[in-house]
Structure 1
Amino acid sequence: MTYSKARRRPPIHMIDIEADRLTDLALAAEEQNPPVSRLLLDEIERAKIHGASRIASDVVTMRSTVRFVDAATGREHSYELVYPNEADIAAGRISIMTPVGAGLIGLREGQSILWPDRDGRERELKIVSVRQAAQTC
Protein backbone atom coordinates (compact mmCIF):
# COMPACT_ATOMS: atom_id res chain seq x y z
CA MET A 1 0.00 0.00 0.00
CA THR A 2 1.15 3.47 -0.70
CA TYR A 3 0.47 6.48 1.40
CA SER A 4 1.36 10.00 0.41
CA LYS A 5 3.57 11.42 3.13
CA ALA A 6 3.13 14.85 1.53
CA ARG A 7 -0.19 15.36 3.30
CA ARG A 8 -0.06 15.12 7.07
CA ARG A 9 -2.59 13.00 8.83
CA PRO A 10 -4.89 14.88 11.21
CA PRO A 11 -4.40 14.56 14.95
CA ILE A 12 -6.32 11.68 16.51
CA HIS A 13 -7.42 10.71 20.01
CA MET A 14 -7.94 7.30 21.57
CA ILE A 15 -9.17 5.84 24.84
CA ASP A 16 -6.34 4.22 26.80
CA ILE A 17 -8.07 0.86 27.32
CA GLU A 18 -9.09 0.68 23.66
CA ALA A 19 -5.57 1.56 22.50
CA ASP A 20 -4.20 -1.32 24.59
CA ARG A 21 -6.77 -3.79 23.27
CA LEU A 22 -6.28 -2.62 19.66
CA THR A 23 -2.50 -2.95 20.00
CA ASP A 24 -2.94 -6.57 21.11
CA LEU A 25 -5.38 -7.20 18.26
CA ALA A 26 -3.08 -5.65 15.63
CA LEU A 27 -0.05 -7.57 16.89
CA ALA A 28 -2.01 -10.84 16.83
CA ALA A 29 -3.07 -10.13 13.22
CA GLU A 30 0.40 -9.27 11.89
CA GLU A 31 0.80 -12.54 9.98
CA GLN A 32 -2.76 -12.83 8.64
CA ASN A 33 -3.32 -9.16 7.78
CA PRO A 34 0.01 -7.30 7.74
CA PRO A 35 -1.10 -4.13 5.89
CA VAL A 36 -4.03 -3.35 8.20
CA SER A 37 -2.08 -4.43 11.26
CA ARG A 38 0.69 -1.95 10.39
CA LEU A 39 -1.80 0.86 9.61
CA LEU A 40 -3.56 0.36 12.93
CA LEU A 41 -0.32 0.19 14.93
CA ASP A 42 0.87 3.40 13.26
CA GLU A 43 -2.38 5.14 14.20
CA ILE A 44 -2.17 3.97 17.81
CA GLU A 45 1.42 5.17 18.02
CA ARG A 46 0.58 8.69 16.88
CA ALA A 47 -2.67 9.04 18.85
CA LYS A 48 -3.08 11.23 21.90
CA ILE A 49 -4.26 8.81 24.60
CA HIS A 50 -7.00 9.73 27.11
CA GLY A 51 -8.98 8.06 29.85
CA ALA A 52 -12.51 7.16 28.73
CA SER A 53 -14.09 10.00 30.75
CA ARG A 54 -11.83 12.55 29.03
CA ILE A 55 -12.45 11.64 25.40
CA ALA A 56 -14.58 14.15 23.46
CA SER A 57 -17.99 12.91 22.31
CA ASP A 58 -17.21 13.76 18.67
CA VAL A 59 -14.24 11.34 18.49
CA VAL A 60 -14.62 7.99 16.72
CA THR A 61 -14.11 5.28 19.34
CA MET A 62 -14.90 1.60 19.37
CA ARG A 63 -18.64 0.96 19.12
CA SER A 64 -19.39 4.53 18.08
CA THR A 65 -21.42 5.04 14.91
CA VAL A 66 -19.68 7.24 12.38
CA ARG A 67 -21.10 8.87 9.27
CA PHE A 68 -18.46 9.71 6.70
CA VAL A 69 -18.19 10.65 3.04
CA ASP A 70 -15.86 8.93 0.59
CA ALA A 71 -14.67 11.93 -1.46
CA ALA A 72 -13.84 9.73 -4.47
CA THR A 73 -17.44 8.61 -4.89
CA GLY A 74 -19.33 11.28 -2.94
CA ARG A 75 -21.18 8.48 -1.15
CA GLU A 76 -22.03 8.82 2.51
CA HIS A 77 -21.66 5.77 4.72
CA SER A 78 -22.73 5.08 8.28
CA TYR A 79 -21.16 2.27 10.31
CA GLU A 80 -20.64 1.22 13.88
CA LEU A 81 -16.93 0.58 14.45
CA VAL A 82 -16.55 -2.84 16.10
CA TYR A 83 -14.08 -5.62 16.89
CA PRO A 84 -13.65 -8.29 14.17
CA ASN A 85 -15.88 -10.91 15.80
CA GLU A 86 -18.78 -8.40 15.88
CA ALA A 87 -18.43 -7.22 12.27
CA ASP A 88 -21.39 -7.53 9.91
CA ILE A 89 -21.31 -5.04 7.06
CA ALA A 90 -24.93 -5.82 6.10
CA ALA A 91 -25.98 -4.85 9.64
CA GLY A 92 -23.88 -1.65 9.54
CA ARG A 93 -20.98 -2.89 11.69
CA ILE A 94 -17.47 -2.49 10.26
CA SER A 95 -14.37 -4.12 11.73
CA ILE A 96 -11.49 -2.08 13.09
CA MET A 97 -9.31 -4.61 11.21
CA THR A 98 -10.33 -3.29 7.78
CA PRO A 99 -8.53 -0.43 6.07
CA VAL A 100 -11.52 1.89 6.53
CA GLY A 101 -12.03 0.86 10.16
CA ALA A 102 -8.38 1.49 11.01
CA GLY A 103 -8.59 4.86 9.27
CA LEU A 104 -11.65 6.05 11.16
CA ILE A 105 -10.52 5.39 14.73
CA GLY A 106 -9.65 8.54 16.64
CA LEU A 107 -10.88 11.06 14.08
CA ARG A 108 -13.27 13.88 15.02
CA GLU A 109 -16.30 15.31 13.27
CA GLY A 110 -15.19 17.51 10.39
CA GLN A 111 -11.76 15.90 9.99
CA SER A 112 -10.62 14.22 6.78
CA ILE A 113 -7.90 11.67 6.18
CA LEU A 114 -6.27 10.28 3.06
CA TRP A 115 -6.35 6.54 3.58
CA PRO A 116 -5.59 3.46 1.49
CA ASP A 117 -8.47 1.20 0.52
CA ARG A 118 -8.24 -2.60 0.13
CA ASP A 119 -6.65 -2.13 -3.31
CA GLY A 120 -4.02 0.30 -2.00
CA ARG A 121 -5.58 3.38 -3.63
CA GLU A 122 -5.76 6.48 -1.46
CA ARG A 123 -9.22 7.75 -0.66
CA GLU A 124 -10.24 10.80 1.28
CA LEU A 125 -12.64 10.02 4.10
CA LYS A 126 -14.41 12.96 5.75
CA ILE A 127 -16.17 12.52 9.09
CA VAL A 128 -19.71 13.95 9.03
CA SER A 129 -20.89 12.90 12.49
CA VAL A 130 -20.09 10.62 15.41
CA ARG A 131 -22.65 9.08 17.76
CA GLN A 132 -21.34 7.34 20.85
CA ALA A 133 -22.79 4.01 21.94
CA ALA A 134 -24.86 3.97 25.10
CA GLN A 135 -22.70 3.26 28.13
CA THR A 136 -23.19 -0.16 29.68
CA CYS A 137 -22.28 -1.10 33.23
Structure 2
Amino acid sequence: MSTVHTQRPSITVSTLDLERLEALMAQAPRAALPYVEALETELARASVVDPEQIPADVATMNSVVRYRDLATQQAHRATLVYPQHLASTQSGISVLAPVGSALLGLRVGQSIRWQVPGGHLIELELLGIDYQPEAAGEYHR
Protein backbone atom coordinates (compact mmCIF):
# COMPACT_ATOMS: atom_id res chain seq x y z
CA MET A 1 0.00 0.00 0.00
CA SER A 2 1.34 3.42 -0.92
CA THR A 3 1.45 6.45 1.29
CA VAL A 4 0.92 10.05 0.33
CA HIS A 5 4.15 11.97 0.62
CA THR A 6 4.21 15.27 2.45
CA GLN A 7 7.25 15.97 0.31
CA ARG A 8 7.05 15.33 -3.38
CA PRO A 9 8.34 11.93 -4.48
CA SER A 10 11.31 11.67 -6.79
CA ILE A 11 10.44 11.79 -10.47
CA THR A 12 12.20 10.81 -13.69
CA VAL A 13 11.80 12.28 -17.17
CA SER A 14 13.55 11.53 -20.43
CA THR A 15 15.81 13.98 -22.23
CA LEU A 16 13.39 13.90 -25.18
CA ASP A 17 10.34 14.69 -23.03
CA LEU A 18 12.25 17.46 -21.24
CA GLU A 19 13.35 19.03 -24.54
CA ARG A 20 9.80 19.00 -25.91
CA LEU A 21 8.28 20.25 -22.66
CA GLU A 22 10.75 23.13 -22.47
CA ALA A 23 9.78 24.14 -26.03
CA LEU A 24 6.09 23.88 -25.10
CA MET A 25 6.54 26.03 -22.01
CA ALA A 26 8.49 28.67 -23.95
CA GLN A 27 5.59 29.04 -26.41
CA ALA A 28 2.69 28.74 -23.97
CA PRO A 29 0.12 31.57 -23.93
CA ARG A 30 -0.04 33.91 -20.94
CA ALA A 31 -3.29 32.30 -19.77
CA ALA A 32 -1.36 29.07 -19.20
CA LEU A 33 1.33 30.74 -17.09
CA PRO A 34 0.29 29.28 -13.69
CA TYR A 35 0.28 25.78 -15.21
CA VAL A 36 3.60 26.37 -16.95
CA GLU A 37 5.19 27.57 -13.71
CA ALA A 38 3.96 24.49 -11.84
CA LEU A 39 5.36 22.21 -14.55
CA GLU A 40 8.68 24.11 -14.61
CA THR A 41 9.02 23.66 -10.85
CA GLU A 42 8.33 19.95 -11.18
CA LEU A 43 10.79 19.47 -14.04
CA ALA A 44 13.52 21.36 -12.18
CA ARG A 45 13.62 18.63 -9.53
CA ALA A 46 13.42 15.68 -11.94
CA SER A 47 16.13 13.13 -12.63
CA VAL A 48 16.71 13.34 -16.38
CA VAL A 49 17.83 10.25 -18.30
CA ASP A 50 18.05 9.13 -21.91
CA PRO A 51 14.80 7.61 -23.23
CA GLU A 52 16.44 4.18 -23.38
CA GLN A 53 17.13 4.40 -19.63
CA ILE A 54 13.58 5.21 -18.47
CA PRO A 55 12.22 2.44 -16.21
CA ALA A 56 9.06 0.81 -17.57
CA ASP A 57 7.08 1.82 -14.46
CA VAL A 58 7.53 5.60 -14.96
CA ALA A 59 4.78 7.81 -16.41
CA THR A 60 6.24 9.49 -19.49
CA MET A 61 4.67 11.57 -22.22
CA ASN A 62 2.19 9.55 -24.32
CA SER A 63 1.95 6.88 -21.64
CA VAL A 64 -1.44 5.34 -20.87
CA VAL A 65 -1.69 5.44 -17.09
CA ARG A 66 -4.08 4.32 -14.38
CA TYR A 67 -4.30 6.50 -11.29
CA ARG A 68 -6.50 6.99 -8.25
CA ASP A 69 -7.75 10.20 -6.68
CA LEU A 70 -7.10 9.37 -3.03
CA ALA A 71 -9.78 11.78 -1.77
CA THR A 72 -12.58 10.05 -3.68
CA GLN A 73 -10.93 6.65 -4.21
CA GLN A 74 -11.98 6.90 -7.87
CA ALA A 75 -9.66 5.24 -10.36
CA HIS A 76 -9.07 6.75 -13.80
CA ARG A 77 -7.27 5.79 -17.01
CA ALA A 78 -5.76 8.46 -19.25
CA THR A 79 -3.09 9.14 -21.84
CA LEU A 80 -0.59 11.84 -20.83
CA VAL A 81 -0.36 14.16 -23.86
CA TYR A 82 0.91 17.52 -25.04
CA PRO A 83 -1.90 20.11 -25.19
CA GLN A 84 -1.91 20.20 -29.00
CA HIS A 85 -2.71 16.46 -29.09
CA LEU A 86 -5.54 16.58 -26.57
CA ALA A 87 -8.37 16.72 -29.11
CA SER A 88 -7.06 13.73 -31.06
CA THR A 89 -6.54 11.46 -28.04
CA GLN A 90 -9.35 9.53 -26.42
CA SER A 91 -9.16 9.93 -22.62
CA GLY A 92 -6.22 12.29 -22.94
CA ILE A 93 -5.00 14.56 -20.18
CA SER A 94 -2.74 17.50 -20.94
CA VAL A 95 0.63 17.68 -19.25
CA LEU A 96 -0.24 21.33 -18.51
CA ALA A 97 -3.36 20.30 -16.57
CA PRO A 98 -2.73 19.88 -12.83
CA VAL A 99 -3.37 16.12 -12.93
CA GLY A 100 -1.07 15.71 -15.94
CA SER A 101 1.76 17.67 -14.35
CA ALA A 102 1.34 15.73 -11.12
CA LEU A 103 1.52 12.32 -12.83
CA LEU A 104 4.49 13.05 -15.10
CA GLY A 105 7.59 11.20 -13.94
CA LEU A 106 5.93 9.23 -11.14
CA ARG A 107 6.66 5.54 -10.71
CA VAL A 108 3.89 3.00 -10.20
CA GLY A 109 2.98 2.96 -6.51
CA GLN A 110 4.05 6.54 -5.85
CA SER A 111 1.57 9.18 -4.77
CA ILE A 112 1.70 12.94 -4.78
CA ARG A 113 -0.15 15.96 -3.43
CA TRP A 114 -0.68 18.66 -6.01
CA GLN A 115 -2.21 22.12 -5.71
CA VAL A 116 -4.92 22.92 -8.23
CA PRO A 117 -6.54 26.23 -9.20
CA GLY A 118 -8.53 27.52 -6.27
CA GLY A 119 -5.80 26.49 -3.88
CA HIS A 120 -6.98 23.07 -2.74
CA LEU A 121 -4.83 19.96 -2.89
CA ILE A 122 -5.48 16.79 -4.82
CA GLU A 123 -3.82 13.52 -3.87
CA LEU A 124 -3.09 11.07 -6.66
CA GLU A 125 -1.57 7.60 -6.72
CA LEU A 126 -0.13 6.07 -9.88
CA LEU A 127 -1.67 2.59 -10.02
CA GLY A 128 -0.22 1.28 -13.26
CA ILE A 129 1.00 1.95 -16.76
CA ASP A 130 -0.84 0.16 -19.55
CA TYR A 131 1.44 1.53 -22.26
CA GLN A 132 4.71 3.45 -22.18
CA PRO A 133 6.41 4.42 -25.47
CA GLU A 134 9.90 3.79 -24.13
CA ALA A 135 9.00 0.30 -22.88
CA ALA A 136 7.62 -0.40 -26.37
CA GLY A 137 10.95 0.62 -27.94
CA GLU A 138 9.59 3.94 -29.24
CA TYR A 139 12.44 6.15 -28.06
CA HIS A 140 12.03 9.04 -30.48
CA ARG A 141 8.25 9.30 -30.92
Whether 1:39 aligns to 2:38 is: yes
Alignment-mate amino acid for residue 132 of structure 1: Q
Match of 1:91 in 2: 90
Give percent identity, aligned residues only.
36
Q: Structure 1 residues 119-128 or 30-39, which shifts more?
A: 30-39
Provide, for residues 43-64 of structure 1, a one-character-per-residue CA deviation record: whole Å limited to 9, x for no partner. Answer: 1110000000000000000000
State the Cα deviation string for residues 49-95 of structure 1 (Å, max 9, x = none): 00000000000000001100001111001000011111149821111
Q: For the residues of structure 2 that align with 1:53 and 1:128, how far apart are their CA atoms?
A: 23
Query: Retained in 2: the 8 A contact 1:81–1:101?
Result: yes
Total equivalences in the alignment? 132
Question: RMSD over aligned Cα, in angstroms?
Answer: 2.0
Relative to the length of structure 2, the TM-score reads: 0.85
- More deviation, 44-53/82-91: 82-91
Distance in 1, Cα, partners of 2:23 & 2:32: 14
Is the partner of 1:34 in helix, strand or coil?
helix
> 1:111 maps to what in 2?
110
- Residue number in structure 1 paired with 2:124: 125
Structure 1 unmatched ranges of 5 or more: 1-5
Q: CA deviation at 1:32?
A: 2.1
For normalisation by structure 1, the TM-score amounts to 0.88
Match of 2:73, as an amino acid? G
Runs of 4+ in 1 over 3 A off after TM superposition: none
**Contact 2:79–2:89, Cα closer than 8 Å, also in 1:** no
Is the Cα–Cα contact under 8 Å of residues 14 and 61 in structure 1 kept in the other structure? yes
State the one-letter code of the partner of 2:128. S
